Structure 1
C-alpha cells in the first residue's frame, strides 16, 4: 500500500516560500498529506492512513498494544536533539515495549501536537525519523492525529504480534532462574550528564553516549529470540536496570541479584564518568532510557547468543547488587 506521491504534496500558500512554510500555512490536512505521501506500508497493514482507524492483519488473532508520550522540555529538548532524533526516539521506546513482551511490532499510530507556527521542515524531519526507526523495528506507521498545542508533543501507540506465542510477562521469574541482558545500560545517562553540563562531545566515547541519549538503540529482535528460547520474564530498561528488575522481582515474588563483575561497565560510560568525576557503575545500574532488555531464563534452557548472564533469581524479595541491598535510583517521567 503506497500513499500519494510526494510530488503531489500541497503547495505553500501564495507568496510563501516552501522552506519558510509553517503548519499554520499548510493546515492540518496538508501536513497529514506530507506525512503520508509516498510511504509504503508493510503487508500486515491492510488499511493505513485515510480512514478512521488502521486495520492490521494478525497471524493468530491477538494483538499486543502499548502507548508512550514524549513532551518537549521533559522528555526531549529541541536544543539538544534534532526533530529527526526526536522521531526516532519516539518509536524506539515503544518498539522496545513490544520486544519486552516477546512481540514483533506491526504498526505504530502517532499523535503529534505542535504550535501552529512550527516550520514544516521540523514536522518533515520528525516524520523521517519516525519512519526510519519504525522500519528498523520491522514495522510502519499506520495512522495518527495532528493537533495544535503549546509545545511539541509526540504520542505513539504500538501494535505487535506474538506469532502464536504467549506474551513474556514480568511475573514469571522463578527461584533458580538466570538473569541475562541484551544491549547495554549507562550510555543514555552519561550522555545526559554531558548535555546537562554543557560539555561538547570531543571524542568517540562522548559522541557515542550523547548519540544514544538522543536516540536509544534497543535490541528489538532479541525480544523474540528470548521468547522463543522460553524466557520466563522480561522487561526493557526504560527506568534503569535496578528499577526495572525491581518490577520483575515484585511481580514474580522473588529476589534478583546482580553480579557487577558479570554486568561490566562499557568503556565509553567509564570515559564520560572520568570526565565528570562520577561513578560509572551508578549509571549502568540506575541510568534509564537505554532500553536494553533483561530477562529471566530457566537454568536448563539455552540463553540466546546475543544475551549475556548478569545475575540470578532466588527466594526472597527485592533486588541486590553483589548480594548487598542497594536502593534503586533510576529515571522517572515525573
Structure 2
C-alpha cells in the first residue's frame, strides 16, 4: 500500500513557536553536537579535504504534498545531497537543515520530515548537526551536506572524463520519473509497480559507492539528478569528450515497460530524460568497480577525429546515434 499525503491536524508551527520547533527537529533527528550556535566537527584524518554542497526542496516546484509524505521527503532530501558528495568520491560526514514554512504548518510535518532525514543519515553513521528555521509563505527546505575527501587521489569532477575510458553506473535509471508519472496519473497503481513509486518518493543510494569508484581509478563522476542525457551530456561537454551509451545496458526493464504500457508512455523517455534516480555515473579505464556496471564508452570529440557526421557532433549518443529524447530538468523553465 502506497502512503501519500502530509499531516493536516495537530499543533502548528505558529502555535508552538521557534524554540519548540527546533526542539522537535532535534528530538526527531538527534545529535550530540546540535544545539549550540554552531557545530564543531572533527576531521576524520589529517590528509583530507572538506566537500560541501547544498540543495533546496520547494513545495509545488520539487514536490507535491499529495504524492509523498514528509518522512519520505526527508529521506529523499538527504539522498539528493549525499549523492553530490558521493559523486566527488567523498564520504558524507554531517548535514544541516534550513527550513522556511507557513505558521499554519502542522508540527507533525516538520517532525516527520526530520525523522526521515535522521533515518537516511543513520545509514551513513552521520547526524543532523544544525540549521535554521523561519516563517515563510511557502514550505522550503534546504539541506547542506558536509563530506570528507581523503587520500591524495584527486576528486571525481565533471572535467575528468578521458577518451578510451568506459562509462559506469551504480543504481537504477528511469524509475523515479516513472514513479512520479504513475502518482500523477491518479490511477489505481498495481502492487507490482510500487517499486517505481518508492524510487520517486525515497530514492536509494548505497553508502560508499563514490569512494569505491574513486579507489578503483575513476576520474569523473556525476549523479543522475536532472536526467540521464542531461547529466551525462554535462559531463561530456565539461570534459571535452563524446560519450556513447549502449542501449542494451540502459534499456527499460520489465517494470518500466509495464508502466509504459499502462500509461501509454514510451519508457525510453523515462530512461533518457527522467532524473532524481541519483544513480552515480562515472568514467574510468579498465573494468567496472564493484556495484557498478558498464553502460557506455568515452570518445574523442568530433574536432579531433575529423568526423562531420550528425552523430559525431552530439555530446551523447546511444549506439552511435543521436538520442530521440534529450530533455531534462531545468530549474528556471
Q: Same fold (TM over 0.5)?
A: yes
**Equivalent residues, number:** 308
Is contact 1:179–1:294 with CA below 8 Å preserved after alignment?
A: yes
Matched position secondary structure for 1:247:
helix
Matched, 1:193 2:181: yes
Aligned-residue offset at 1:50: 2.1
Choose the corresponding residue for 1:179, options 167, 172, 185.
167
Structure 2 residue aligned with 1:34: 24
* d(CA) in 2 for partners of 1:55, 1:186: 39
Matched, 1:278 2:268: no
Matched position secondary structure for 2:208:
helix
Gap regions ≥5 residues in structure 2: 1-8, 303-314
Choose the corresponding residue for 1:315, options 296, 300, 303.
300
* d(CA) in 2 for partners of 1:180, 1:238: 16
Gap regions ≥5 residues in structure 1: 1-18, 42-46
Matched, 1:128 2:115: yes
* d(CA) in 1 for partners of 2:61, 2:188: 21
Choose the corresponding residue for 2:89, options 102, 120, 131.
102
Is contact 2:30–2:128 with CA below 8 Å preserved after alignment?
A: no
Task: Between 66-75 and 80-89, report the one with greater CA deviation.
Answer: 80-89
* d(CA) in 1 for partners of 2:87, 2:163: 21
| TM-score, normalization by structure 2 | 0.88
Task: Between 77-86 and 130-139, report the one with greater CA deviation.
Answer: 130-139
Matched position secondary structure for 1:36:
helix
Task: Between 62-71 and 277-286, report the one with greater CA deviation.
Answer: 277-286
* d(CA) in 2 for partners of 1:103, 1:228: 10
Query: What are the equivalent positions in structure 2 for 1:218-237 lying under 5 Å apart?
Result: 218-237=205-224
Task: Between 251-260 and 127-136, report the one with greater CA deviation.
Answer: 127-136
Structure 2 residue aligned with 1:53: 38
Structure 2 residue aligned with 1:328: 326
| TM-score, normalization by structure 1 | 0.88
* d(CA) in 1 for partners of 2:28, 2:173: 37
Aligned-residue offset at 1:88: 1.0
Choose the corresponding residue for 1:166, options 132, 154, 160.
154
Matched position secondary structure for 1:162:
strand
Residue by residue over 1:251-288, the C-alpha shift from the partner in whole angstroms, topping out at 9 and shown as x without a partner, is 11000000011223222111101111111122112111
Structure 1 residue aligned with 2:144: 157
Is contact 1:99–1:222 with CA below 8 Å preserved after alignment?
A: yes
